[in-house]
Structure 1
């Protein structure tokens, strides 16, 4: 992997010259957030992507991602949203992969406590994005992940950042850039707040030379729902057994799945486990027409449907008896209600 920490322009020989006056900064903590930042990059914009390398799954992703795939005016630093970064850079735009991140809240709070915040763009963060948009569409409430309990000090700054972003919405400076389907009720309430929604179809991602897979692999997208305790592990394993009984499958694990679960799965000779390093969207982008990808409801299923309109995404609705009761009814309903084809009305 090329040196990701260079923030100066490079000459033809690769030597540094003067530092780049970045016009935007993106804070990302997952591979999907990283790809979403690239899709939000605008022509001629000098963008700095600050990736939280220690976040789950990010080290292997950054190791596998070729920095030659970045646009010429995009630089990568694996340092995350360190508290002082926004004091030394005054960007015209800030892009947030995880608007509920404590690290991001601290960086924003320190930099913009007494000054005006620039335009903010919300990036896709999987299905958790819907919760973020609902919070920002509401009149009050802290930016907090579902099922997350905050300490008092964190709750204060999470509420402060939420209120600042709502203020940006009222002045037309808050936007959600997404490839996800946008339910009409979600779109209506977010736009009513003064915010904007713009869409993409992974245009930059589709230009990357990342190879692909083959239909004979019978790809199955792994889910984090069992690892997160939201659905029963035995029910999930039984679902995989049923798929494997129809023929060998290639299983692409989710980054949060446990080694214990995967080691058990490896004992099944019908299952080939393929650790991708790069996001599933990059690895399965070039499947031939009429291929079939199997999945539970997930962001990856939506993304792959957008990228591969001629590929069948076979999504299994999660039966009521699979749920452990650890998730809210709203999450269960929204997961099963996800349409694989993206809404284009926003």
Structure 2
């Protein structure tokens, strides 16, 4: 029986936990999914007031499963991205995956049948313990990993070197008790992310990669769907700045970061600051007061915001995913993306030993960007 007929369920299941992951699944589907999206194909009823919460109907080629986080900003962007996905004709299943102690058991139990029947699994965060647990259930022979920002670069390198999967900003050292408890699941997931005789693994990415695991195929994410769906944008004369969550993840000192933002804004005439969804309210309030920048909290990933416009002629950023993705999304426009290096003195004492090298690599590997040297900050303001 055809995988798209009868009660076979969805041919492809995609698991996303962030707006950027959902965007990149849409980009992958635009290029690769059988049947693709069909704009204007109608809306499915929702469950619990969330977008696309209805049980997935049979015969659907691609179903997006949102493993909803708790963070309000991320949830808001995921709601908007879910609506865009549905406008493209895809089914979206919203799971309150973290809504209480029993939520993971309810979510996994409800997805187990679909996972076993799916022929292909698409995932955005191979480091996610949630996703790793789901990978132990699936029998899918095709596994696709789409970008989850710069973390994809680290994932590919670790997979190629046979290392355990650890996010780059986590401090080095021995695994903790929770890591040891979860180690069998993580090892099983890593095996399922490794090509075998009956298993194909694909990376769909806009990121440059040096170490490539043997047998893994790579296809380029050029943001073709984004460029076809939005824009071209109206370009303003000034400069805009892109925020980062490096302070929130404990990599960069907060005072040093504020000083760097102030210096960049003054030097380049920036007037707007597009906040990262994980930046704290307190930090953003301080940035607004002490730099005079207009703080913008986007309701969509920055690639879509920039493509819709208006956007500054120059976009300033620290090392992050956008130094790779924005030039692609804004291809054919006159917008210049400029990236400022992270001075080693800005790093906190708790930063991972790999942090400086990883951030330098993110900047150095970026194409079609203007590279700025690290700005000078006043040591007296640092904690």
TM-score band, normalised by shorter chain: 0.7 to 0.9
Distance 1:319 1:103 in 2: 34
The aligned residue for residue 222 of structure 2 is 201
Distance 2:120 2:85 in 1: 22
Q: Is the 8 A contact 2:241 2:270 kept in 1?
A: no
- CA displacement 1:242-291 (0-9 Å, x = unmatched): 12324352001111111111111222472100111111111011458981
Task: Call closer, same or farther: CA 1:88–1:52 in 2, change over 3 Å.
Answer: closer
1:175 counterpart (193, 202, 208):
202
The aligned residue for residue 15 of structure 1 is none
Task: Call closer, same or farther: CA 1:268–1:302 in 2, change over 3 Å.
Answer: same
Residue 77 in structure 1 maps to residue 93 in structure 2: yes
Where structure 1 has 5 or more consecutive residues not aligned to the other structure, the ranges are 1-8, 10-17
The aligned residue for residue 49 of structure 1 is 64
Cα distance, 1:203 vs. partner? 1.0
Of the structure 1 ranges 222-231 and 88-97, higher mean CA displacement relative to structure 2 is found in 88-97
Q: Is the 8 A contact 1:52 1:58 kept in 2?
A: no
- CA displacement 1:299-335 (0-9 Å, x = unmatched): 0121101112332111001112111243344332232
Task: Call closer, same or farther: CA 1:180–1:157 in 2, change over 3 Å.
Answer: same
Q: Is the 8 A contact 1:171 1:194 kept in 2?
A: no
Aligned length: 315
Where structure 2 has 5 or more consecutive residues not aligned to the other structure, the ranges are 37-60, 98-103, 369-383
Q: Is the 8 A contact 2:250 2:350 kept in 1?
A: yes
The aligned residue for residue 296 of structure 2 is 274
The aligned residue for residue 259 of structure 1 is 281
Residue 22 in structure 1 maps to residue 10 in structure 2: yes
Cα distance, 1:55 vs. partner? 4.7
State the secondary structure of the residue aligned to 2:193. Answer: helix
Q: Is the 8 A contact 2:312 2:335 kept in 1?
A: yes
Distance 2:88 2:299 in 1: 23
2:181 counterpart (134, 147, 153):
153
The aligned residue for residue 4 of structure 1 is none
Distance 1:123 1:198 in 2: 10
The aligned residue for residue 271 of structure 2 is 249
Task: Call closer, same or farther: CA 1:195–1:117 in 2, change over 3 Å.
Answer: same
Cα distance, 1:195 vs. partner? 1.0
Cα distance, 1:210 vs. partner? 7.2
The aligned residue for residue 374 of structure 2 is none
Task: Call closer, same or farther: CA 1:326–1:76 in 2, change over 3 Å.
Answer: same
The aligned residue for residue 347 of structure 2 is 323
The aligned residue for residue 144 of structure 1 is 166
Q: Normalization by structure 1: what TM-score? A: 0.81
State the secondary structure of the residue aligned to 1:226. Answer: coil
Distance 1:216 1:204 in 2: 27
Residue 92 in structure 1 maps to residue 119 in structure 2: yes
The aligned residue for residue 22 of structure 2 is 34
Q: Normalization by structure 2: what TM-score? A: 0.74
Residue 341 in structure 1 maps to residue 329 in structure 2: no
Cα distance, 1:151 vs. partner? 3.6
The aligned residue for residue 83 of structure 2 is 67
Cα distance, 1:25 vs. partner? 0.6
The aligned residue for residue 130 of structure 2 is 103
Residue 164 in structure 1 maps to residue 192 in structure 2: yes
Distance 1:217 1:169 in 2: 51
State the secondary structure of the residue aligned to 2:207. Answer: coil
Distance 1:289 1:267 in 2: 23
Q: Is the 8 A contact 1:24 1:92 kept in 2?
A: yes
